Amino acid sequence: MEAKQLQQEITESIPHSPAYQALLRAGPRLRPLEQVHAHIVVSGSHRSRALLTKLLTLACTAGSIVYARRLLYSVPNPDSFLFNSLIKASSKSGFPLDTVSFYHRMLHSCISPSSYTFTSVIKACADLSTLKLGRCVHSHVCVCGYGSDSFVQSALVAQYSKSGDLGVARKVFDNMLERTVVAWNSMISGFEQNGCLSEAIGMFYGMQEHGVEPDSTTFVSLLSACSQLGALGLGCWVHDYVVSNGFNLNVVLGTSLINMYSRCGNVSKARKVFDSMNERNVIAWTAMISGYGMNGYGSEAVELFHQMKAQGPRPNDITLVAVLSACAHSGLVQEGRQAYSSMSEEYGLVPGVEHYVCMVDMLGRAGLLNDAYQFIKGIIHREPAPAVWTAMLGACKMHKNFDLE
C-alpha cells in the first residue's frame, strides 16, 4: 500500500514540483545533483521519499555509488520502493557488489523482496560470477514464492549459464512455462561461452521449432559458435536471415559476421560485410585487420590499418596485436617495425607481452634471430615473460640456430 501511494505521489504531484524539475535538469551529473540535494534539504523537501528515490537513482547512474550509499544511510526507515529503485539502478549501472549489499540491507530492514528485486539481484550475481551467492538467492526466490515468475526464471537461466552451471540452467529453463527469447538467448550464449558449441546450435534449432523469433543477440552467440566450429554453411544462413528479415547490421552483429567469415576462411565475404556497415568502431576495424592477418593477407591488413589511421577510430593495443601478427605471418618486417614504433610515438600505448611476442615471432620467422635476441634484451627489464622466450626458442628451432650474440 505504501509503495502504491509513493508511486501515485511520483506520477501525479512530484513531477510538477520545482525540486523534481531541478533533479531532471541536473541529470546523472554528480556536482549538479549535490547542489540540488542541498536545495532540497534547505527547502524542507528532503522528507519526500519520491524526491530521495529519484536522487538516489540518478546518483547511481552518475557513477557515484558512494554518494548513493551515503544518501541511503541517511534515510530513516527506507521503504521497499526506495530499495527496489536503488537495487535496480546500481545493478544496471555496473555496481553488482553494491546491489547485493543493498539487498542484504533490505532484508535486515525486514522488507520482503519482490520479483522486481530478485531480477536485479540475480543479474548482479551473474556479473560477479558468484555461483554460491547465486544459489543462495535462488533458494530465497523459492522461499518467497517467485520460483515460477518468468522474469526471475530468465534471470536465473542467465546467471547459471554465465557462471558455468549449465545443468541447473537447463533445469530452470525446462521448467519455464513461457520461454522468452531472452531465456533462449541465455541458454545459447551459455553453451557457446562454455565450449558446448554443438549444444548451442542445437538449442537454436529448438528455438526455431518452438516458433520463437531470434533477435540480434541470438545471432551474435550463434555466429561465435559457427566461427569456432568452422560451420560456414550455417553462418551464411544466419547472414541471409539477417538481411532478408531487415535486421539492423549494428556494430556487434556486423563484427560477429566478420569474425565468422574470417575464421571460416572467406575473407572476401568478411570485407563485404565490413564495407556495408554504416558504423564501424575500433572492434570492427580490428576484426577485419585480424581476419586478413589470420588468412595470410598481411599487405591488406597493413593497408587497412593505414586506412583506419586516416579515417577510422583511434587504434588500441588489440589492434596493434592484430597488425603485428599479420606482419609476422607475411614476412612484413619493416611494416611491423613501423607499427610497433607507432604504438608509443603516435598513440601513447604501452606495449605488453602480446606485442613483444609478436615482434620476436616476426623477427624470428624472417631469420633475424640476433635482432630478435637484441629486442628481448632491450625489453627484458620491463617484461621478463616466459612467452617471449618461448617465441625466441621457437624461432631458433625453426632455423636450427641456437648460436646467438
Q: Indicate the residue type of 183.
A: A
Domain-embedded: residue 197: yes
Report, in this order, helix, strand and coil percent for the chain, each rounded to 5.
Answer: 75, 0, 25
Task: Name the residue among 107, 104, 144 with its Cα closest to residue 124.
Answer: 104
Domain-embedded: residue 249? yes
* Structural domain count of the chain: 1
Within a domain: 193: yes
pTM given for the model: 0.81
C-alpha cell at 37: 540535494
> Tell me, what DSSP letter sits at residue 380?
T
Q: 72-80, long-range: CB within 8 Å, 24+ apart, which pairs?
A: 72/102, 72/105, 75/49, 77/109, 78/109, 79/2, 79/3, 79/6, 79/49, 79/111, 80/2, 80/3, 80/106, 80/111, 80/112, 80/114
Collapsing DSSP states into helix, strand and coil, what is residue 340? helix
Buried b (16+ CB within 10 A) or exposed e, 327-359: bbbbebbebbbebbebbeeeeebebeebbbbbb
Measuring CA to CA, which residue among 83, 36, 44 is closest to residue 62?
A: 36
Name residue, grid cell 539492423. Answer: 248
Upper half-sphere CA count for residue 23 (Cβ side, 13 Å): 22
Q: What is the pLDDT of residue 365?
A: 93
Helix, strand or coil, per DSSP, at residue 180: coil
Coil, strand or helix at 43: helix
- The H or E element containing residue 167 is helix 166-174
Q: Sign of the CA dihedral 59, 61, 65, 69? A: positive
Q: At what angle do helices 353-365 and 333-346 cross, to 10 degrees?
A: 160
Close Cβ partners of 252 (under 8 Å, ≥ 6 residues apart): 216, 220
Is residue 42 included in any domain, yes or no?
no
Q: Which amino acid is at 6?
A: L
Does residue 196 fall inside a structural domain? yes
Domain residues for the domain of 183 are 179-265
- The dihedral region occupied by 94, where left means phi > 0, alpha psi between -120 and 50, and beta the remainder, is left
**How many angstroms separate the CA atoms of 127 and 122, rounded?**
9
Please give the average pLDDT of every successive group of 10 residues along the chain, which has 405 residues.
46 49 55 65 61 74 74 79 85 90 92 94 94 95 94 95 95 94 96 95 95 95 95 95 91 97 97 95 98 97 96 93 97 96 92 95 93 89 80 87 69
Tens of pLDDT, residue by residue over 307-323, are 999 987 999 999 999 99
Q: C-alpha grid cell for residue 125? A: 550475481
> Cα–Cα distance between 310 and 243 in angstroms, integer?
30
Nearest partner of 405 among 368, 361, 363, 355, judged by Cα: 368
In whole angstroms, what is the distance from residue 153 CA to residue 119 CA?
A: 9
Judge whether 254 lies within some domain.
yes
Structural domain contains residue 113: no
Enumerate residues 6+ apart whose C-beta is below 8 A from 214: 181, 184, 204, 207, 208, 222, 241
Q: Copy the grid coordinates of residue 40.
A: 532540497
Evaluate whether 289 touches 323 at the Cβ level (below 8 Å).
yes
Distance CA 90, CA 67 (A): 12
Show Cβ contacts of residue 85 under 8 Å, excluding neighbours closer than 6 positions.
Answer: 53, 56, 57
Cell 553453451: give the residue: 191
Identify whether 233 is part of a domain. yes
Q: Which residues contact 34 (CB under 8 A, 6 or more apart)?
A: 67
Q: How far apart are CA 82 and CA 53, in angstroms?
A: 5
